[in-house]
A and B are shown apart, each in its own frame.
Chain A
């Protein structure tokens, strides 16, 4: 069964550094999302992306964050200058346009640790 993949599984970075989290959505999916989950807290929506532009973003998704689909397969989340409070699990998700569009398929996550 096709699945969403994310790399790296764990990223450690120093405060102020830029990080790029990578995701490969399921190949025929057209909607893409990033969520994050701070340890012990709820899963929070960050941003959705469709047709090469942001569809919706949350208050968390400020100017420090950006998303990109640089080619036909990858979907990336960039954090320009990381802060301690950016430490969290980051989940990528995708969903199709047709078929079963109500399902969002989540990747295994990237654990980001900012020191």
Chain B
């Protein structure tokens, strides 16, 4: 699996959009970009994933650059409950049986 680079930490004001960047310059054509988060030692939680098109769901939006070497997770209206470590993961395929390889992620703190 390709490696990812994320900032160690970020702050965002409550109610504002939180934009979390991720670099994955060695991503292969068959690798997807996944985002998970972990709230204070709870189990990781799936947020969103994409291959090359931008994606949106009820939790977030994922913007992938045209060359697929980087992406941005957007939480449109951050709340205090969004304080967590966010992991950007690239892995082959879109199926359930491949392992997830977690990095150190970005610690996002939402400021009241």
A106 at the interface (CB under 8 A from B): yes
Chain B at the A interface: SS class: loop
Bound CA span A97–B32, Å = 18
B96→A102 contact, CB < 8 A: yes
Q: Mark A85-115, 1 if CB is under 8 A from B, else 0.
A: 0000101010111000111111111000000
Q: Is A45 an interface residue (CB 8 A)?
A: yes
Let me know if A31 and B97 touch, CB within 8 A: yes
On chain B, the number of residues with a Cβ less than 8 Å from chain A's Cβ atoms is 21
Contacts of A102 in B (CB 8 A): 32, 34, 46, 49, 94-96
A44 to chain B, nearest CB (A): 7
Verify B45–A97 contact, CB threshold 8 A: no
Which segment, of B7-15, B21-29, B101-109, faces chain A? Answer: B101-109
- Measured CB to CB, the closest approach of chain B to A47, in angstroms, equals 9
Q: In the complex, how many angstroms separate the beta carbon of B85 from the nearest chain A beta carbon?
A: 9
User: Count of A-B contacts with CB under 8 A?
Assistant: 60
CA distance A42 to B105 in the complex (A): 9
Cα distance A42–B89 in the bound complex, in angstroms: 13
Across-interface contacts of A45 in B (CB, < 8 A): 99-101
- Whole-angstrom CA separation of A90 from B101 in the bound complex: 15
Inter-chain contacts of A75 with B (CB < 8 A): none
The listed residue with most A CB atoms (<10 A of its CB), out of B34, B44, B87, B104, is B44
A101 engages B43 (CB within 8 Å): no
Q: Which of A33, A104, A109 contacts B42 (CB 8 A)?
A: A109
CB-nearest residue of chain B relative to A58? B99
A33, A37, A106: the one within 8 Å of B99 (CB): A33
A-to-B contact residues, CB < 8 Å? 4, 30-31, 33, 35, 37, 42-45, 48, 50, 55-56, 58, 89, 91, 93, 95-97, 101-109
Residues of B with Cβ closer than 8 Å to A?
32, 34, 38, 41-46, 49, 87, 94-97, 99-104
Query: What are the 7 closest A-B residue pairs judged by CB atoms, nearest first?
Result: A106-B43, A95-B96, A101-B96, A43-B102, A45-B99, A103-B46, A31-B96
